[in-house]
Structure 1
Amino acid sequence: MSTTTTEPAGTVATALAHARRLLGVDPRLAAEQAGAILEAVPRHAEATLILATALRLAGDLPQALRTLDPLSRAFLQSPPVQLEHGWSLAAAGQTQGAVAAFRRAVAAEPDLAEAWRGLAEALELVGDEAGAQVARARQTVLQIKGGVRDPALMAAAGALVDGKPGEAEKALRALLDTRPDDPAALRMLAEAVARLGRQEEAETLLVRCLEIAPGFTAARQNLATVLYRLGRSEDALVQLERLLADEPRNPAHLNLKAAALARIGEYAQSIAIYEDVLARHPQQPKGWMSYGHALKTVGRAADCAAAYRKAVDQAPSLGEAWWSLANMKTWRFDEADLAAMEAQLARADLSDDDRLHLDYALGKAHEDAGRWARSFEHYARGAALRRAQLAYDPERNRRHVARSKAVLTADLFAERAGQGCPAPDPIFVLGLPRSGSTLVEQILASHSAVEGTMELPDIGAIAKRLGGAKSSREPSAYPEILADLDPDQLAALGQEFLDRTRVQRKTGRPLFIDKMPNNWAHVGLIALTLPNAKIIDARRHPMGCCFSGFKQHFARGQAFSYGLDDIGRYYADYVELMAHFDAVLPGRAHRVIYEEMVVDPEAQIRALLDYCGLPFEESCLNFHENDRAVRTASSEQVRRPIFKDAVEHWQNYESWLDPLKSALGPVLTCYPAAPEF
């Protein structure tokens, strides 16, 4: 970047140096100084850049952009001009424009770390997580290169840039053997193991890193993200508040805060944050999608659909946004939507994640139109893509059932009678996804004594901790360890569950629901640690339940559902273990058969309330009038009266479901009873 001037060079240089110093002290004075230079030397490029920067720092974004736009067009290859243009566009919410400007900056100067940082932040906002990850890694490489020039750190950062976290981990562990307190290496190792799926280990490394370097902002941001992924939203919020104290308008921090607040049921705050961020950064398709999720949960269906529409308009290839529309269940696509989704699927550069979500969305669209063959084709393709991404082993589940039956005997429960935490607060609604469990939850949450929460991860987290395995490849001590726990330990575990879930309780109602379906695998843990808790087994016809699960793309946690054989075996394992508990703890769990609820809801609701020790209330029959937040795929459906059309819906697909029938075996023919195991 150069400029022509008739002023004495020394005078201009001195004035420019003074203006640059003022930028960090008083941006308004810097703007005045730059303006004075421009009066003397019109169109002076560096003075114009300082003026634009000062205007941005002073908060006058419209004027900053009016100053920068012509400068940016004139100096497309100037790294400082494109960098400043990127920051101003980002601050003004023009995220796509910011991405382009930062890309121009790094193209002109590949070693400009600040431009890579800006690009990473902008790409995160537009939902390009893979691109943001690469940009962050490039930034790290350059920061190291500009600092200690450590070859080991450089090699590890290069491996992360190349998408090889395993290689990065090896190099970083070797470095930490000699320098165990190196914060840069600890943070980078945390990133590597997080990419490898070891979030708990990443947390430990980041905590250590921040003990050594409390002001390491990037590490704190990583820690907040890891804590959120681990389901520890309260802990994530603590870290986010520290980050936001320094950067109160940082959209990435605010988006994560909104997501964490939604996880703990603070929907009003979450929605308000999304609205504020989207007003300032409207070009943010994943932000609109997350906002839509929050709106869906509180029942604002029209606003939710509009938010999802905004996401697909901004990013037509964002498969998850199309699927989010389909997953409203009551939404119907038109022919233009189908053509748009098919056009995206035809792209060779589409990611597998976008592709599978589009397949699920098209499966639902063709299902609604009664085109069963085309619908199944898309569902099967989406499920196959998702199955290939997961390391699911059905034998692990089979072994867990066998081990549970061996250790959780009638004698064990008799010996532990009267132990555990006596609180009667929890009502566990469990079974399989798509079994009618959300309907049961909605009915119970319509009672004046019961609060609905969400699918809580806490029982599973406690079980995982008891097992002691750091990964699925390591042997677990669970469930056998349950037989070794003394009365104090059992009581402490029950109390821990109550303490962990207290954040989800927003009312003074004495009872609350945990609707995590996977808790059927932990009925023994629940019975031993919370002997007065209620356990409700929501069960649906195996063909209807399993096929409904197969054609549902779950956000997380249901890896068994992406193969007809897998989900059939999982259902059979579930029936077997629940039959065992029926035998060793008779009457402990109450079973609700979905088809019976549909035929005679009042009788089934009365029996359900009797089991819970609750008096009948008419509001439970009118559950669809309850405006509580519902955080499952059935959120729209349970806001309508009970409908019968889903009971036999699977029969439209029966000709493709032989693998499911074979996997279910006698569980199918004996339903609703259980076969002899």
Structure 2
Amino acid sequence: MSGSPVGTQKPPAHSSTLAAATSLLDSRPEAALAQAEAILQRTPGLPAAEFLACQALRKLGQSDAALPRLAALARSQPRVPAVLWELAQAASEAGRSREAIGALENLTRLQPAVAGGWFLLARELRKSGRDEEAWRADLSGVHASSRDPELLKAAVAMNEGRLDESASMLTARLERLPGDPAACRLLGEVNWRRGDMTEALAWVERALELAPGFDLARDFLVRLLLQNNRLPEALDHAEKLTTSPVRSPGHDLLKASVLVRLGQQEQAQQIYEQLLALKPEQPQVWQNLGHVLKTMGRQPDAIHAYRQAVLHQPSMGEAWWSLANLKTVKLGPDDISAMEQALASLEPEREERQEDIFHLHFSLGKALEDARDYAASFHHYDQGNRLRRTLVRHDADDFSAEARATADTFSAAFIAEMGPGGCPAPDPVFIVGLPRSGSTLVEQILASHSQVEGTMELPEMMIIASRLQSRVDEGEFPDFRTMITSLTPADRLRLGEEYIERTRVHRQTGKPRFIDKMPNNWQHVGLIRLILPNARIIDARRHPLSCCFSGWKQHFARGQTFSYDLTDIGRYYRDYVGLMAAYDEAAPEAVHRVLYENMVTDTEHQVRRVLDYLDLPFEQACLEFYNNDRAVRTASSEQVRQPIFTDGMERWKHFAQWLGPLIEALGPLNHAGFAEGHSS
């Protein structure tokens, strides 16, 4: 805290003595106190000596003794920040919040750009039950921190990718100022950018311990918790944000996004509608509302919301794609013209508006496919995929090597060697495969059974698998097999119980079984069987050209990085079939395969076979799955709300002349090979 008592008026004879006494303050406060008192005996009332004596008393734990002297000094030196700071610290330590608050209010008026005074004021206000004032004081402290040169320098280093340099600056600062919330939050972001989520969470949580009114830190924490799928905690913090004295629609939007992830669509809908009632010209909010309404099966309302989004922002590519992606909606000539105009307007801004551009290409591809202009349709699908491919990371060679390593690990001998273990819970039903393989149809059929709850594509198994793989990547184990072999029965039990516990938040009913429809879990079938031996696994499979082409022309919100190149997606399909065939050989009958083509042409027989595999009785509701009004978030959400149809089974044939790279990548799987293994 800058400023000192008017010691500049002291006689020069005391300068060296006072300096010597001050140098003892941290290491020998009792000696500093004795020397300060000696100076005061010779020069009563000398402000600098009186101030030093009070500092020494506080360091010796005698804040009560320091308080009256500091109060007197503050009256004689009312505009010296250091005196007010010391008075506030002493009053706080003595439990005299009212006096501390008074000193800090004077201090922050004198030095509004110094964050420490605001943060200490917030703590004292909070002790006195003045929570809203405390929150505002924290926000003022954050505002002051945003102008701190040292923090700005660390932030610049972080944003320029000099993460180690930024971390070093912040660590050094926190050694001097361990109670600095802004430095804690910034160090949390540095660790997040490094990929160290544990440290990131710890530092951001520390920032909020120090300054509960630090809205930006709480917002960041919610996003970190979402990334870790810690949804109940994320909701708690999001709800806290909405009570901030500085109202922000962004806080409401963040809470709505958490509610969506929790499957509480109706509550998210209410938030979006309230925001739009206050300000209708918000295309992003209209789009978000459309997503929720689509998930709830309210298609006409979803269409209206998406139309409102593009009305307010005609170049909003994601809203156009959301309309096209309803599958049961056909975009007409006027829509095509509007999208072409939007695309033309964006081309000069290609770098800034890439997401809008590739979304518009995908949307035009779908509209022109519906109009049977297949050449133009393919051109737009191709342009959208090429642009999207530049924005994602996928190494087909590395992925194939990982799939082979997994297949080589989970041999019959290895499974026998590992022996029994894991969590015995029979609750989970995993539906795996590729996107656009008919998995949503299988899910909707099973979720119509009285004993099965449909949830969504749950990330928990992938989080567990990623954590295990990181032990190989970080050098703890030389390879995947060694790491898996190291799992003891107790480890497997713990991991299985972790999965059951982490997914509990998604279960809204008392039904004994639940579905996890994350398609990418085909990569982890062996791990699933190790940690959840009684879980059931259904492999939803579709003809390779039909499945891969459907996936290639689908823009996915996240995760499917292999799908934006015809060769990549063909190789991915081959890796999938290869690993599943290896597992079928190692553990026959463990995985039940459902071929989409069989399901749509011989529905009742296929449904009965799946239910037999799950040891569930047949129920007619499974054949009337389209009457189930549960929320469905995937691209097939509208298709599974109507009886089975076969229109889309061979759409790829309209584009066959352009699918050479896919056909070549698939190789022998273009024929009957895709169905190898146990199938129903």
TM-score by length of structure 2 reads 0.74
Deviation of 1:248 after TM superposition, in Å, equals 8.7
Aligned mates of 2:154, 2:597 — CA distance in 1: 57
Q: Are 1:407 and 1:480, in contact at CA under 8 Å, matched by a contact in 2?
A: no
Asked if 1:513 is matched to 2:515, the reply is: yes
Q: Is the 8 A contact 1:270 1:294 kept in 2?
A: yes
Matched, 1:433 2:427: no
> Quick one: distance in 1 between partners of 2:336 and 2:238?
40
Shift of 1:200: 5.8
**Percentage identity across paired residues of the two chains:** 51
Report what 2:498 is aligned to. 496
Distance (whole Å) between structure 2 residues aligned to residue 353 and residue 663 of structure 1 = 28
Does the Cα contact within 8 Å between 2:157 and 2:165 map onto a contact in 1? no
Q: How far, CA to CA, are the matches of 1:472 and 1:651 in structure 2?
A: 46
Query: Could you tell me which residue of structure 2 aligns to residue 301 of structure 1?
Result: 299
Hey, what's the Cα distance between the residues in 2 that align with 1:201 and 1:650?
48
Shift of 1:170: 4.2
Q: Of 161, 165, 177, which residue of structure 2 is paired with 1:166?
A: 161
Following the alignment from structure 2 to structure 1, what is the Cα–Cα distance between the partners of residues 194 and 329? Answer: 36
Residue type matched to 1:244 in 2? T
The structure 2 residue matched to 1:487, chosen from 486, 489, 508, is 489
For 1:215 and 1:247, locate their aligned partners in 2 and report how far apart those are by CA, in whole Å: 9
Q: Partner residue of 2:652?
A: 650
Counterparts of residues 458-607 of structure 1 (less than 5 Å): 458-468=460-470, 478=480, 480-607=482-609
Contact 1:200 1:230 in 2 (8 A): no
> What amino acid is aligned across from residue 338 of structure 2 in structure 1?
A
User: Which of 1 and 2 has greater Rg?
Assistant: 2
Q: 206, 209, 213: which is aligned to 2:207?
A: 209
- Structure 2 vs 1, CA of residues 306 and 459 (structure 1 numbering), >3 Å: closer, same or farther? same
Tell me if 1:377 matches 2:379.
Answer: yes
1:648 is paired with a residue whose SS is helix
Alpha-carbon shift at residue 202 of structure 1 (Å): 3.7
Q: Secondary structure at the match of 2:647?
A: coil
Provide the residue aligned with 2:56 in structure 1. Answer: none
- Does 2:287 correspond to 1:289? yes
On the 8 A contact 1:456/1:515 being kept in 2, the answer is yes
Q: Which one-letter code corresponds to 2:149 in the other structure?
A: R
Q: Distance in 1 between matches of 2:531 and 2:476?
A: 25
Distance 1:353 1:471 in 2: 32
Distance 1:451 1:325, change over 3 A: same
**For residue 670 of structure 2, what is the aligned residue in structure 1?**
668
Contact 1:609 1:615 in 2 (8 A): yes
- TM-superposed CA distance for 1:391, in Å, is 1.5
The CA RMSD measured in Å over matched residues stands at: 2.6
Q: Is the alpha carbon distance of 1:600 and 1:308 closer, same or farther for their aligned partners in structure 2, counting shifts above 3 Å? A: same
Q: Is the 8 A contact 2:358 2:384 kept in 1?
A: yes
1:267 maps to: 265
Q: CA deviation at 1:197?
A: 7.0
Instruction: For residue 492 of structure 1, report the CA deviation from its aligned partner.
Output: 1.4
Kindly provide the amino acid, as one letter, of the partner of residue 231 in structure 2. Answer: S
Query: Structure 1 471/279 Cα, relative in aligned 2: closer, same or farther at 3 Å?
Result: farther
Q: Name the SS for the 1:508 alignment partner.
A: coil
Q: Does residue 170 of structure 2 align to residue 176 of structure 1?
A: yes
**Letter matched to residue 584 of structure 2:** D
Q: Distance in 2 between matches of 1:299 and 1:629?
A: 7
Q: Does structure 1 conserve the Cα–Cα contact (< 8 Å) formed by 2:548 and 2:573?
A: yes
Tell me whether 282-291 or 542-551 shows the greater mean CA deviation: 282-291
Q: SS of the counterpart of 1:419?
A: coil
Segments of structure 2 that go 5 or more residues without pairing to the other structure are: 1-112, 114-139
Q: How does 1:200-279 map to 2 (within 5 A)?
A: 202-247=200-245, 250-279=248-277
CA contact (8 A) 1:172 1:185 kept: no
State the AA in 2 paired with 1:232. R
Question: Cα 1:341–1:195, aligned 2, differ >3 Å: closer, same or farther?
Answer: farther
Mean alpha-carbon deviation: is it higher for 579-588 or for 232-241?
232-241
**Aligned-pair CA distance for 1:219:** 1.0
Residue 149 of structure 2 corresponds to 149
The structural deviation recorded for 1:597 is 1.1
Q: Distance in 2 between matches of 1:613 and 1:419?
A: 22
Distance 1:471 1:225 in 2: 25
Query: Amino acid of the residue matched to residue 663 of structure 2?
Result: K
**Which AA in structure 1 matches 2:286?**
W
> Secondary structure at the residue paired with 1:528?
helix
Structure 1 match to 2:636: 634
Hey, what's the Cα distance between the residues in 2 that align with 1:471 and 1:271? 42
Report deviation, 1:443: 0.6
Unmatched 5+ stretches in structure 1: 1-111, 113-138
Change (3 A) 1:208 1:471: farther
- Matches of 2:376 and 2:194, distance apart in 1: 36
Distance 1:356 1:396 in 2: 26
1:313 aligns with 2:311: yes
The question of 1:387 aligning with 2:389 is answered yes
Counterpart contact for 1:445–1:451, Cα < 8 Å:
yes
Tell me if the contact between 1:463 and 1:478 (Cα under 8 Å) persists in the aligned partners: no
1:598: how far off? 1.6
Rate the CA distance shift 1:472–1:444 in 2: closer, same or farther, 3 A.
farther
- Whole-Å separation in 1 of the counterparts to 2:144 and 2:477: 40
Once the two structures are TM-superposed, the CA of residue 201 in structure 1 deviates from its matched residue by 5.4
Matching of residues 300-379 of structure 1 within 5 Å: 300-347=298-345, 348-350=348-350, 351-379=353-381
Which shows bigger deviation, 637-646 or 208-217? Answer: 208-217
Q: What secondary structure sits across from 1:592 in the alignment?
A: strand
Aligned length: 532
TM-score (norm 1): 0.74
Q: Supply the distance in 1 between the matched residues of 2:316 and 2:551 (Cα, whole angstroms).
A: 23
Q: Is this contact kept in 2: 1:667–1:674, CA < 8 A? A: no
User: Take 2:479 and 2:274, find their aligned partners in 1: how far apart are those partners?
Assistant: 47
Deviates more, 1:260-269 or 1:507-516: 260-269
Partner of 1:456: helix, strand, or coil? coil
Partner of 1:55: none
Deviations 1:168-190 (A, max 9, x none): x3442230242244432342344
Secondary structure at 1:538 match in 2: strand
Deviation at 1:216, TM superposition (A): 2.4
Structure 1 472/297 Cα, relative in aligned 2: closer, same or farther at 3 Å?
farther
- The one-letter code matched in structure 1 to 2:161 is G
Deviations 1:439-486 (A, max 9, x none): 000111111111100000000001111223698999996564222111
1:456 matched residue in structure 2: 458
Partner of residue 130, structure 1: none
**Residue 165 of structure 1: how far off its partner (Å):** 3.9
